[in-house]
Amino acid sequence: MQFKLFTIPIHENEKVLAELNRFLRANKVLDVQQQLVSNKDGAHWCFSIRYGDTSSSQTSYKKAKVDYRQVLDEADFQKFSKLRVIRKKVAAHDGVPAYAVFTDEELANLAELDVITPKNMLTIKGIGDKKIERYAKYFISRDDDETTGTSD
């Protein structure tokens, strides 16, 4: 973590303001504190910016790839695999990326449900009314296929 200080005259100095904006765009800003200071030289805005290293922060936000074969039991993994096939078809039909339908994490949570219903789907983080409205009909459990709506 590092700090950078900027002092900008109240009547704006375009050069210093442009430098401040460039700095803010180029760095991962953690905190900004500002204060209006008035002295014999006039009034100035003072900015204290706490920022982190951009090279290491970008990689720290990436989630580790999950191997759902190891996370789920065999039956749930088979269900998960079927759900992925359905998701792929739905995504292709709608012309959207598969993760826009449901993420792998959401599918894994669906696979762990005993019965997939719209009400049960709402209990999963990331699945809301919009996704239910658009996609639930493809994934809900049916009497002829207990795991998914693959009876078409």
CATH number, domain at 120? 1.10.150.80
- The strand order across the sheet containing 42-52 reads 2-9, 42-52, 28-39
pLDDT, tens only, 74-127: 999 999 999 999 999 999 999 999 999 999 999 999 999 999 999 999 999 999
Q: Which range of residues forms the domain containing residue 94?
A: 68-139
Q: Are residues 53 and 78 in the same domain?
A: no
Amino acid at 105: E
Q: Tell me if 32 is assigned to some domain.
A: yes
Whole-angstrom Cα Rg for the chain: 26
Q: Are residues 47 and 74 in the same domain?
A: no
The total of structural domains in the chain comes to 2
Q: Tell me if 145 is assigned to some domain.
A: no
Q: Are residues 53 and 93 in the same domain?
A: no
Q: Are residues 72 and 97 in the same domain?
A: yes
- Which domain-ending residue is among 10, 36, 60? 60
pLDDT, tens only, 59-79: 445 667 888 888 899 999 999
| pTM tops 0.75 | no
- Which domain-ending residue is among 60, 78, 104? 60
Q: Are residues 132 and 72 in the same domain?
A: yes
Q: Are residues 83 and 132 in the same domain?
A: yes
The set of residues, in sequence order, having a beta carbon less than 8 Å from that of 88 and lying 6+ positions away, is: 98
Report yes or no: 151 and 83 within 8 Å, Cβ to Cβ.
no
Q: State the Cα–Cα distance between residues 105 and 146, nearest whole angstrom.
A: 21
Q: Tell me if 148 is assigned to some domain.
A: no
